Structure formats: C-alpha cells, structure tokens
Structure 1
Amino acid sequence: MRTKYFALLVLTAVFVGCTDKFEEFNTDKKNPAIAAGNALFTNAQKELADQVNQTNVNQNVFKLWAQYWTETTYIDEANYDVVTRNIAEQIYRFMIREALRDFKEAKELIAVEEGPEAEATKQNRLMIIELLEAYTWHQLVDIFGMVPYTEALNIENVYPKYDDGAFIYNDLLKRVTDAVEALDPSEGSFGSADLYYGGDVEKWIKFGNSLKLKMGIILSDVNPTLAEQAITSALAGGIFESSADDALMPYLSSSPNQNPLYEEIVATGRNDYVVANTIVDIMNDLEDPRRQFFFTQKDGAYVGGIYGHSNSYPNYSHIHPDILAPDFHGFILTYTEMLFYLAEAAERGFAVPLTAEEYYNMGIKNSILEWGGTQDDVDTYLARPDVAYATAPDESEDGWRQKIATQAWIASYTRGLEGWTTWRRLDYPIFNIAEQIESVHDIPTRFTFPIEEQTLNQANYAAAVAALGEGGDKLTTKIFWDLYDANE
C-alpha cells in the first residue's frame, strides 16, 4: 500500500492513505463513512498549494522565470539551465502523481460512501474536486503545452499518450461548466476538511466561474470564439466579487504546515535569492507604492540583483520578510487577477460590464490595498501619466497589451507561473536576457518534458515531440495559445 503521512491543518492528526483497497484506510471512528475521502482531499489541496507557491529550484522555478527574483550563488535556473536538476520530473511528481492522484482517489472513495450525511454532501464534494482537477490540469498545460491527460493516472496503463493542449483546454472548460452547474449551495460539502473555503459551496461556484474566465482569456489569441463563450458564461454564472472570494492556502506558524517559502528560504538559513532588477527597476520608475511590501531596502533604496548573474546577497534588496513568514498564505486564484483579465476582455471587444480602463484601475487599486497600501497611495499612483490608462506608455500594436500586462504582472508578484504566463501571452513587460545563458538564447516559453519520459515512455514521447511542431521539445517552443509576437 502506498503510504503517506500528513498533519492535517484542520485536525492536526496523521492519517494513512491510499489505494483502491478502501477498507484499509484508517478512518475517524466518529465519521467512518466520510473521513477517508475527505482526508485525501485535504492532502491533495495542500500538495497542490505547496507546489504552486514553492520556490525550491528542484520543483518550481517560475518566480525566477517571471523575473520577480534572481539567484545569488547557484544561478543555473535564472539562466534557464534545467539539465542539472530533474525539475520537470518533480513537477510531474507533485502535480500529477501526488495532487491529481489524491484528488482521483478521493473521488473514488467519496463515490462509494453510504449513509445520510455522506449522501447529502456527496455531489458537491465530487464537483469541488472536479474543479481543482481542472485547475491543476490547466496549469500543467500552461507549463508543458502537452501532457498525458485522457490516459493519465491509470494503473493499467503506465505509458500514457500525450494529449494536445487545445483539446485538454476544451475538455476542461466543459468539465468546469458541468461541475459549476451541479453544485448546490443549499447542501454542504467538505466543511473544515476544505482548506481553501471551509466548505462554502457558493465560493466554489465563484471559483469555477473565475477559473473559466481565466482559461477563456488565455485562449483569446488562438480561439477568440471559444474564449468569448467561456467569458460570457463565467460572468453570467458569477465570478469573484472581492478579495474575500480569493482561493488561498492558510498556512500555519508551526511545522509541517508552514508557508513553503518560509521552509525553503528562512528555515534553511540559505541566502539563495534576491529580488530581480527586472521588477525593481520597473516599479522604481513608477514609484510604485507596493515596493515597501514587496522588497526590503538597501541603503535607503530598492536595488534589484542583476537577473541571471551571481549577486552578492548583502548588496541588494531582499524579499520582504512578511512574504517569508511561516503563516503567509499561499495563492491559488484571486479577484485581482480577474480584474486584469476583464480589462483585457474589454479591449478584445468581448461583452463585459465595464470599460478596460475601469477594470484596469480596479485591479491596481485592489492590489495596492490588499498588500497594505492606502487609498491615497492608489489615487497618487493612478494619477501618474505613466500609470493612468489614457497616457501610460504602450508600444504594442493594439495599444493596450503593454500597460495591462505590466500592471497584471506586478500584481501577480510571488505568483511565478501567473507572471511568466502573462509575459508569454502578451509579450510584456520587457524582460531581461541573462548574459550568462549558454544553452538557451532566449527566454523560455515552455518547460521541456521530463527526461525519464524519453526512455520510459519513448513512443508516446516521440509522438508528443512531433506534435509540438518545428520547435520540438525545447524551452523556446511556444505553447498552442502563445500566438502573439510583439517583435513581428
């Protein structure tokens, strides 16, 4: 039996899981019918949140690739050298073999539960898992472009084929739509076993619609018709309305449930990262009020380390200590990012209630306030000619990509995959090219497949590489939704 140990954040108790031998689970004697499935769900939520918010270079390099942070001594990852570590394998491990497998097994357990209490909440619990599975798969597509999907997580098929990213996105949109429609706010769900929302079904409905909006925006350049359908449907169903709706992971001050940034940076005593000059210079030019919450000062100024270079830790600004606190929450999906997606939707001509400028201003305001700024900070910042929507510089051919992308990227600080994805989709803000790059001469636009796939799943790997097109399995091959090129 595959055995895991995890101290539940809600219950602070160790459980043992999992195989399809359901009777072998250790269960809560008070609620034996529902404890095992709920426990696996809780575990999967934490596994997902830890991977998404992690900065361990063995498993998540995206805060570096978004150029929020850079390295001090060991600089391979900021120079896009992914050969020396098995990073792709670790992404597969934590997102597919851990989180997605636990979600799948939780569904299997919940589906066979019996009794009035279990039956009353079963449908909602299954649909909530469906939403988090969709979230995880969409992130995997955004990382690799293609992944095993239809044949994944099948113990009888250890060599699954890879599915086309566009196909996966289309299927995920259907799954999200069906899950949202099946959720019933009049019934309960996971209760305290739900780490993100405490079992609030209405919040999960907003989460599902917000995820649909996000996926629709990502598809905008490659399939505008489907994108508009997804966005229209999401708005009709109801998306996040404030930061109170954010999907967050509530880390605790005690081990083993601490913020992974604290565990990786503070608890280890390592000084491997400083903030990157890419974001510091942009925010300095804008006199951005969020700098005081993002970075520390060096000799009274905000000074970013040179991206991709060796940087002496004492000589540059550091990650703000609040972000590295053991109980600093982890981000999954937020209201602020929805506002910038809506600004983009308005510019693309999709039917949304407000103008692009209004959503842009709301996104900036919400970001400043939620990080600790004041309304005066908001007013002063939005009054700047280089920030105000009507006058902010924008070199993109359609006149909006640069300003929306820049502010969305700033607002996504610490959320590496979101920041990197914004840059990949919209080609802004302007990123730095690390001068010490040897093997890659441009900024990555995807992650290469795990090396082990080349030997263990050779035939399907070869088919996937061929399907990627001329670029093949390279860091600079573009994902199917990445069509816009500011240089053309």
Structure 2
Amino acid sequence: MKNISKIILGTVFAGMALSSCTSDLTDLNIDPKHPTVLPSANLMAKGQQQQFYYTYTGSVNYNNFKFFTQMWAETTYTDETNYDIVTRNQPRNNFNVMYNGVLNNYEQAKKNLVAEGGDANKMATLEIAEISAWETIVDTYGDVPYTQALQASTGQFAPAYDDAKSIYTDLFKRINAVIPTITAGTGYSEDLVYGGDMMKWKKLANSIKLRLALNLDDTDHATAKAAGEAAYASGLMTSDADSYALAFPGGLFSNPLFDDLIASGRKDFVPSELVVNMMNAKMDPRRPMYFTTVGGAYVGGVFGDGNPYPNYSHYQETTWLQPTAPATLLSYTEVLFMLTEAAARGYSVGGTADTWYKMAVTNSMNEYGVAAGDTSAYLLAHPYDAANWKKSIGEEAYIALHNRGFAEWNFSRRLDYPVFVNPTNSRLDGVPVRMPYSDQEYVLNKGNVTAAASKIGGDKATTKLFWDKF
C-alpha cells in the first residue's frame, strides 16, 4: 500500500527544493512553499483520495447512495431517510466535489504529465480513473456537462449539458481507445490503488465497460451485448486483488465510514431493517460479520423513522469501521454478479447464470470469512432462480455489496430489486432514482441546466435516467 499521507501532503510541498541562492532578482518572486505547477503524480493521488472518500462516505453532506438504497436507518435526524436532499445541499456538494475536485485533479494531472514528457501507462492510468469518475457522475445525475466541462481556463464558465446516452457512447469509445495504449511495465508508483500495476488497470477498464453495458441493455440490447462480450473477452477482474479498492492508512486519511461512525463520536446510523430482515429470513451466515446483536437477535432500524441507538444492531467495527479499512468502488464480487446478469441477459460470457451466481455468492462469503460448509448450505437453500432472475440477482447482490452504495444503486435501478418502499414521511413522491442538479447551476449556468432539466422530464429525484426503463 502506498503512503497516502506522504503522497497527498506532497501536493502541498512539491517544488520546495529550490536553490537557496538567487541568480537574479526575478527569483525573489518565486514562493518556494507554494509551487505553481504540481507533479502529475500528486494530482493523480489527490484525485483518487477524493473519489474514493466522497463516493464511499455515508456522510449526509456529500452523497446519499446509502440512503437511496435504504441501507442505513437514522437514529435522531431523519431528513435523509425521508429524502430531504435540499437542506444540506447534497446535490451541490456532490457536484462540486466530483467536478472541482476529482475530475479537475485528473484533468490537470494529464496536462502536467504532458509537460513532464509524457508516459503511455501513466496517461492510461489517468484516463481510466477519469472514466470511472465520469461513470459515477452520469449515473448519478443523467445529462451533465461533459464535452464543454473543465474548460474554465479557456473562458468556458457555462458548459452545455450533454445527452447521457451520448456520454455513454463516448465512454465506450474512450475505454476502447485507452486499453491498447497500455504496455508491459508499470505506471505511477504513487498510484494509491494498484501501485502502478497496469494489468489491473486494464481489468478495471473492462469491468467498467461491462457495468456500462448492463446499464444500457434495456435501452439498446444489441450495443450492450456487443460491448459486454468484448469486455469479457478483453479481460475482467479475476480475483479480490483486482478490486478497485483504496486502503486508507489511518490518521489524517482514514476510511470514511470510520470517520462517519466512530471518529465523529455520533450515534446517528444503524443498519436498516430491509437488509437485516432479508438476511434473517435467509439465515445468512454473514450476519455476525456485518452486525452486532440486540438480545441475541439481529434487529434493523425502520427506514424513515427515528431509531434509538441502543435498541438496534450496529455495524461490526472489525469488519467495516477500522480507520485503515479499504473503500471499494468496484469489486470482484460485483463483477461476478454482473457476469451472472450478463449471462441471464443472453451474453456469451464463458458460463451460465447459475455458474456465475454460485461464484458470486461464494466469493462474497469468502470475503467475510464464512466457512465453506455454511456457504454450500446457503447456496442449496437459496439457489439461482432463472424464472425470476432479476429478483434472484438483485437481492443477493444487495446483500453481498453492502456498504457499497453506488454499486447497489446500479443493480437496484437496473433490476428493480430489492423493492424499496417510500417512507411515510418522505419529502418526495417516490424513491430517488437520480440526484437532482446542483442549485448553484441554476445561478451560474441557468440556461443550460434549465434546458437539461426540461429534456430529461424534470429535475427531480424521481426522474429516471435514460437507461432505467422499468
């Protein structure tokens, strides 16, 4: 694992090693403690830290993935579980972090890498990381600024919103273009996720391509099937070691769930009854690794209600809440469930849906140290159901990908399982399927965001994305 603290803090101190003597008076205008050009490696690492932290966090200030998927219930404040996403300006905060933070760091790193002399593997790393960020953005909002985005240096302060499907088309194109540029050897040694292992970056690119393909399938099956099969043929993740996961070093750079649930000292969240009851009904052997018990039972909180903290199960600290625990944005287990779904949709991906389903469930059990005999018994009791494959895959993926909110949100929107019930006191007329646009866009980019809102059918959390057909 790379030293995140040193690499990211190096962003502040990069360029300080200047000569103590001045060759002419112009040197006096140089501030050695605040360099004007940062190494691309530092920008890349900072982009990674921001992307993982703010996508994985359960903070109600930055994203609502864990609430959109009804994963967490609240104990005291119930705004988020009743889908109030206005009071804390979550759309604005998420939009700004992703554009001004994550994407801006990756894009600037590309420019600085060119000035540094360029390197194909390093450029491929930045491109794939940026594609991953774009995937998250477009599947959070729908139509977003894309072709004209990140061009403030050229005077473009009001970018047009691109059609979400056209963004998908371009992301496929970018993935297809970047993979052949990867060569033997390493990329950035400062890479916080893969340590410069370019074969893992290639597998990530193909795994993102498969996820995009599955999202697209209900809208354009032929294109999706071709893309998904090509991703499989080119090489997907093949083990947990390939997962797109950032292991935090602790201290200043701790896992966000540790910050949310331990370091904060607050007792604001408990697992929801949706996931707990589902696992109870299945006698799921992962429960002891996921949750604590109350009076010998696993008890989830009511989503949308206030749930007194002592009365409900809590998250197991050793599993989820260590400061050095990894944050995972795309896992091998998710890839196996995606292959299950791909096979169910008729893709040629080297196995049947039943085969991939067994591998997916088994790998999830292995992630949490479940004994092989218990895994076998679980699969015998809860086999793949080809006649109701969306429910079979959707519910098992929901359990296996717990606390990976964005991944769960994709499965639940594609497959419509598990079934989410709008809380009694919800601020919305349905369960959210997208994040509304930032309120600041209506001030700074009013014409373009208004046009985008009209095009997609209204800037509401209940307005479906183009690929969410059912």
Superposed pair shares fold, TM > 0.5: yes
Matched, 1:189 2:178: no
Residue 324 of structure 2 corresponds to residue 324 of structure 1: no
The 8 Å contact of residues 71 and 311 in structure 1, kept in 2 or not, is answered as yes
User: What is the percent sequence identity of the aligned residues?
Assistant: 37
Instruction: Give the C-alpha shift of residue 12 in structure 1.
Output: 7.1
Tell me the residue number matched to 1:299: 295
* 1:473 matches 2:444: no
State the 1:25 CA deviation: 9.6
Which residue of the partner structure matches residue 426 of structure 1?
415
Q: 2:142 aligns with which of 141, 145, 154?
A: 145
Alignment match of 1:39 (pick from 31, 39, 42): 42
- Are positions 1:229 and 2:252 aligned together? no
In structure 1, list runs of 5 or more residues that go unmatched: 1-6
**Aligned equivalents of 1:8 and 1:96: distance in 2?**
22
Q: How does 1:16-165 map to 2 (within 5 A)?
A: 16=12, 36-114=39-117, 122-155=119-152, 156-165=155-164
Tell me how far apart the structure 2 counterparts of residues 176 and 349 of structure 1 sit (CA, whole Å): 23
Aligned partner (choices 393, 400, 410) of residue 404 of structure 1: 393
How far, CA to CA, are the matches of 1:57 and 1:232 in structure 2? 38
CA distance in 2, matches of 1:482, 1:96: 24
How far 1:10 moved relative to its partner? 5.1
Cα displacement string for residues 101-149 of structure 1 (whole angstroms, at most 9, x for unaligned residues): 00000000001113xxxx5xx1111111111111111111111111111
Q: Which amino acid in 1 is paired with 2:44?
A: F
Pair 1:288 & 2:284 matched: yes
Deviation at 1:26, TM superposition (A): 6.7
CA distance in 2, matches of 1:25, 1:89: 33
Which residue of the partner structure matches residue 433 of structure 2? 445
Cα distance change, pair 268–236 in 1 and its aligned pair in 2 (3 A):
same
Tell me, what secondary structure is at the counterpart of 2:162?
coil
How far apart, CA to CA, are the structure 1 residues paired with 2:444 and 2:249? 39
CA distance in 2, matches of 1:158, 1:25: 29
Are 1:265 and 2:261 counterparts?
A: yes
Q: CA RMSD in A?
A: 2.1
Do 1:128 and 1:179's aligned partners in 2 also have CA atoms closer than 8 Å? no
Q: Distance in 2 between matches of 1:15 and 1:360?
A: 44
Q: Structure 1, residues 432-482: CA drift from partner, whole Å, max 9, x if none?
A: 331121x3121111111111111221100111011102xx01111100010
Q: How far apart, CA to CA, are the structure 2 residues paired with 1:367 and 1:151?
A: 40
Question: What SS does structure 1 have at the residue aligned with 2:329?
Answer: strand
Counterpart secondary structure, 1:330: strand
CA distance in 1, matches of 2:202, 2:454: 38
User: Is the 1:15–1:26 Cα contact (8 Å) retained in structure 2?
Assistant: no
**Count of aligned pairs:** 451
The alignment partner of 1:311 has SS state of coil
Separation in 2, partners of 1:201, 1:140: 24
Residue of 381, 384, 393 corresponding to 1:389: 384
Counterpart of 2:149, as a letter, is A
* Cα distance, 1:26–1:204 mapped onto 2, change above 3 Å: farther
The question of 1:215 aligning with 2:201 is answered no
Q: In structure 1, the residue corresponding to 2:39 is in which secondary structure?
A: helix
- The structure with the largest helix share of the pair is 2
* TM-score, normalised via structure 1 length: 0.89
Match of residue 3 from structure 1 = none
Structure 2 counterpart of 1:308: 304
Partner of residue 19, structure 2? none
- Cα distance in 2 for partners of 1:226, 1:108 equals 33
* Residue pair 1:406, 1:428 contacting (<8 A) in 2 also: yes
Q: Which moved more, 1:270-279 or 1:219-228?
A: 219-228
CA distance in 1, matches of 2:408, 2:366: 20
- Whether the 8 Å CA contact 1:17–1:25 is kept in 2: the answer is no
How big is each residue's C-alpha offset from its partner over 1:173-231, in whole Å with a ceiling of 9 and x where there is no partner? 110111111111x232101x100000001111111111111111111111111111211
TM-score after normalising by structure 2: 0.92
CA contact (8 A) 1:357 1:389 kept: yes
Offset of residue 270 of structure 1: 0.3
What secondary structure, in the 3-state scheme, does the structure 2 residue paired with 1:9 have? helix
Separation (CA, whole Å) in 2 of partners of 1:342 and 1:250 = 26
